């Protein structure tokens, strides 16, 4: 007999807890125009300090009647606005960014090649001057 009462109280406590969590989620996700009678913070405190009574009061008097029925919980589509859909998500998906990287790489390669050729010409000149000095008779 006693264990049956303990189970019943445990079940009622669990139901009260679930109701309070649902009320908190509903209160915190409600838009400003959907909240009636008290400010949001007052409703949150009432639900936290008086879970059973506060939760019932929230669902009865705190939110607009039918507020959840008039709008969907999730927007239709993938959740991105038209502008966000057109823009690439990451730099490696952006064709302009990738082409700028390629152009920068080509410019760096050209500059590196130019410096290498200049260095090569300088060394050739040094070698020619060294050869000319060896070919001249010493006086």
Q: What is the full DSSP assignment across 67-114? A: HHHHS-SS-STTS--HHHHHS-SSGGG-HHHHHHHHHHHHHHHHHHHH
The per-residue pLDDT for 79 is: 57
Residue 85 falls within a domain, yes or no? no
Q: With 0-12 CB in 10 A as exposed, 13-18 as middle and 19+ as buried, what is 59?
A: middle
Q: What is the pTM of this model?
A: 0.46
Instruction: Count CB atoms within 10 A of the CB of residue 106.
Output: 10
pLDDT of residue 113: 96
pLDDT beneath 70, residues of the chain: 1, 65-89, 135-139
The answer as to whether 71 is a domain residue is no
Per-residue pLDDT at 99: 86
Residue 109's domain comprises 94-138
Number of independent structural domains in the chain: 1
Looking at the domain assignment, is residue 18 inside a domain?
A: no
Domain assignment present for residue 114? The answer is: yes
């Amino acid at each position: 007999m006693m264990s049956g009462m303990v189970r019943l109280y445990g079940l009622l406590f669990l139901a009260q807890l679930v109701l309070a969590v649902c009320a908190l989620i509903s209160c915190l996700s409600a838009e400003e125009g959907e909240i009636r009678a008290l400010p949001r913070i007052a409703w949150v405190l009432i639900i936290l300090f008086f879970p059973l009574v506060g939760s019932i009061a929230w669902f009865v008097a705190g939110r607009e009647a039918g507020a959840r029925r008039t709008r969907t919980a999730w927007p239709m589509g993938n959740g991105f606005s038209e502008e966000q859909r057109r823009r690439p998500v990451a730099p490696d998906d952006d064709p302009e960014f990738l082409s700028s990287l390629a152009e920068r790489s080509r410019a760096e390669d050209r500059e590196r090649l130019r410096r290498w050729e200049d260095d090569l010409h300088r060394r050739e000149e040094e070698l020619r001057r060294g050869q000319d000095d060896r070919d001249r008779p010493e006086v």
